[in-house]
A and B are shown apart, each in its own frame.
Chain A
Amino acid sequence: MITTPGATGMAGTEGMTEARFSVGDQVEVARAFPPGHRRVPTYIRGRTGVVAHHTGAFPNPEEKAYGLDAAHVHFYRVAFKQNEIWNQYEGPEHDELFIEIQETWLHPTEEASK
């Protein structure tokens, strides 16, 4: 799922695949801890949210960080319920957190793939 530094895809937007997810899709962030430069904070790994906004395709920052000719990847702002992120969230159950996640870190949930 997660590309590793060195495993570069096609540079630029040529050969760019279609966005895999649409607004409203339920997605899970990979619960993975690969070494290297990662832009997905630990607190959100393994959590399930809903795609709120497809922000576009950008050079993969996890490859760009190494000066590689980074392939474009799709990015999404994903909405999470705060009390599903934190064990003891002190606030109303409707509080939310939005965070931008690159497609390589996301996969459909069991429910969404039915």
Chain B
Amino acid sequence: MSHDHEHNHEHGHTHEVEHPVYTYADDSPRDVVETDHYPLMVEALRELLLEREVIQPRDLREALEKFDTVDHTVGPRAVAKAWLDADFKEQLLADGRVAIREAFQIEACEADLVVLENTRDLHNLVVCTLCSCYPRGLMGQPPDWYKSKSYRSRAVHEPRQVMSEYGTEIPDDVTVRVHDSNADMRFMVLPLRPEGTDDWSEEQLSEIVTRDCLVGIALPELASAGE
């Protein structure tokens, strides 16, 4: 849970318990209000687990530290390698978790990884409508927008509009395929390699594969290299 934003909402009044699942994007400035039902439940659970000594305070800190210091370059490096090495690309598409483990000597994914290849006819976009499932071991912590109620509700039913708002226009003759990451698989997009990168090294290529490209909300751009 995020505690780092400013607390400018009203305190002291009681909230009706709202069920967020059926609510579409609203104009509220944020999704999490600390005095709402679910944040209070999380806080109560945390306190109980500590009180009963099921977990220790340091366990929580260490878990957060681990999440925040993940090597988020593994995903981009895997994409760059796949662009250069057809055999690796084949392995990556067949079993992403094993391919990355063998190529980078790292157990980067906590679950089975499905790698979604973009083509000239197909663009993939990932969302988790139920929570915020995300391959953290490959890509670090998910961005706030990925966890927002707005993205989670809108990406499934108006993906093209959402992408457009993020500056990504997908032509109508390209199929947009949204993946709802609601269960045991984790997903990473393998973007199309941009033109004009023919003589680039793996390192150069990995620099233009941003986190957002791996979710599918953005496309790799030459201009973002070397900045």
Interface residues of A (CB under 8 A from B): 39-44, 53, 55-56, 58, 61, 75, 77, 82, 85-86, 89-92, 94-102
Contacts and interface: CB of A to CB of B under 8 A. Distances in A.
Given A43-B157, A95-B178, 12 more contacts: A41-B130, A55-B114, A55-B185, A75-B184, A92-B172, A92-B175, A95-B175, A96-B176, A97-B179, A97-B180, A98-B178, A100-B183
Contacts of A95: 159-160, 175-178
Interface of B: 21-22, 112, 114, 129-130, 156-161, 172-173, 175-185
A86 B158 CA distance: 10
Nearest to B129: A41
Given A39-B130, A92-B172, A92-B175, A99 B180 contact: yes
Contacts of A77: 114, 185
8 contacts: A55-B112, A55-B184, A61-B183, A90-B161, A91-B172, A91-B176, A100-B180, A100-B185
Contacts of B114: 53, 55, 77
Nearest to A61: B183
Nearest to A41: B129
Contacts of A89: 157
Contact of A97 (B112, B178, B183): B178
Contacts of B158: 90-91
Grouping DSSP codes into helix (H, G, I), strand (E, B) and loop, the B interface class, with mixed when no group exceeds half, is mixed
A41 B178 CA distance: 14
Contacts of B21: 41-42
A93 to B, nearest CB: 10
A99 B127 CA distance: 10
A99 B184 contact: no
Contacts of A101: 183
Contact of B177 (A42, A43, A96, A102): A96
Contacts of B182: 39-41, 99-100
A43 B185 CA distance: 20
Contacts of B22: 42
Nearest to A79: B177
A91 B183 contact: no
What 4 pairs across the A-B complex have the smallest Cβ distances?
A100-B183, A99-B180, A96-B177, A97-B178
Contacts of A100: 180-185
B160 A90 contact: yes
